[in-house]
A and B are shown apart, each in its own frame.
Chain A
Amino acid sequence: KAGVTQTPRYLIKTRGQQVTLSCSPISGHRSVSWYQQTPGQGLQFLFEYFSETQRNKGNFPGRFSGRQFSNSRSEMNVSTLELGDSALYLCASSGGREGAYNEQFFGPGTRLTVL
């Protein structure tokens, strides 16, 4: 099976712009989660989508949003970018019988730099 793919891999934006990141989960996986990884804050949970519905949400401002399509692909949007949004954004999918006991499979990430 193909792994989790994320596009683009690298992105450079300026403050105030918006950005959309894309994630394609492993075939058959219905849960897609997004994380922000920074040196100072570590790995922070953004949100999780399951069967096109947001099931969990982390403590991020409303500028961060996402959605999931019927084929389980997911997009994450950040509006009005700030310098502090510079980070590696990781997407993870999990499948099988849905449950917290499932491990997550991570994509390579999108490296966002805000200038």
Chain B
Amino acid sequence: AQSVAQPEDQVNVAEGNPLTVKCTYSVSGNPYLFWYVQYPNRGLQFLLKYITGDNLVKGSYGFEAEFNKSQTSFHLKKPSALVSDSALYFCAVKISTNAGKSTFGDGTTLTVKP
């Protein structure tokens, strides 16, 4: 079984400050980890993924995420938040035997205030 936890329903940061959105996962075997963003009344947009290799991965719009195997975490980060980053963020995990099935966390609403 695979599961994802996003412990914070809401994250508030001021524009220009660094942001972190937390994600932990549980899988049997090696995980493939993803972050997606959803704007109101839209589908999900892919931000970045960890497959293998460097634990720090960089993605779209200046976002990055750090994979930590010992802590089973994959936190999303950005050095300087923008008001336009305000959206709903989902962490997801897949495993090799279920290539088309993403298991999502419950989502974290990020609000960046000017």
8 closest A-B pairs (Cβ-Cβ)?
A: A48-B100, A106-B43, A43-B104, A100-B94, A106-B44, A100-B99, A103-B46, A101-B51
With beta carbons under 8 angstroms apart, the residue of B90, B95, B102 that contacts A45 is B102
Interface residues of B (CB under 8 A from A): 32, 34, 36, 41-46, 49, 51, 90, 94-107
**Given the complex of chains A and B, what is the CA–CA distance between A99 and B32 in angstroms?**
10
With beta carbons under 8 angstroms apart, the residue of B34, B36, B95, B104 that contacts A42 is B104
The number of chain A residues touching the other chain, given as a range, is 20 to 34
| Interface residue SS majority, chain A | strand
Known contacts A99-B96, A101-B32, A101-B51; is A58 also within 8 Å of B101 by CB? yes
Count of CB-CB pairs between chains A and B under 8 Å: 72
Judge whether B95 and A100 touch: CB under 8 Å. yes
Interface residues of A in 31-56 (CB under 8 A from B): 31-33, 35, 42-43, 45, 48-50, 55-56
Interface residues of A (CB under 8 A from B): 4, 31-33, 35, 42-43, 45, 48-50, 55-56, 58, 90, 92, 94, 98-109
Judge whether B106 and A94 touch: CB under 8 Å. no
**Given the complex of chains A and B, what is the CA–CA distance between A21 and B32 in angstroms?**
29
Neighbouring B residues of A55 by C-beta, 8 Å: 99-100
With beta carbons under 8 angstroms apart, the residue of B41, B42, B49, B106 that contacts A101 is B49
Known contacts A100-B96, A101-B51; is A106 also within 8 Å of B104 by CB? no
Neighbouring A residues of B51 by C-beta, 8 Å: 101
What are 9 residue pairs bridging A and B, where the CB atoms are less than 8 Å apart in the complex?
Answer: A31-B100, A35-B102, A43-B90, A43-B102, A55-B99, A92-B44, A100-B95, A100-B97, A100-B99
**Given the complex of chains A and B, what is the CA–CA distance between A104 and B41 in angstroms?**
18
Judge whether B102 and A33 touch: CB under 8 Å. yes
Neighbouring A residues of B101 by C-beta, 8 Å: 33, 45, 48, 56, 58
Centre residue among A43, A49, A56 by max chain B CB count within 10 A: A43
**Given the complex of chains A and B, what is the CA–CA distance between A32 and B101 in angstroms?**
10
Known contacts A42-B106, A45-B103, A50-B100; is A104 also within 8 Å of B46 by CB? yes
Other 19 A-B pairs with CB < 8 A, given A56-B98, A100-B94: A31-B99, A42-B104, A42-B107, A43-B102, A45-B102, A45-B103, A50-B100, A100-B32, A100-B95, A100-B99, A101-B32, A104-B44, A104-B46, A105-B46, A106-B36, A106-B43, A106-B44, A106-B45, A108-B41
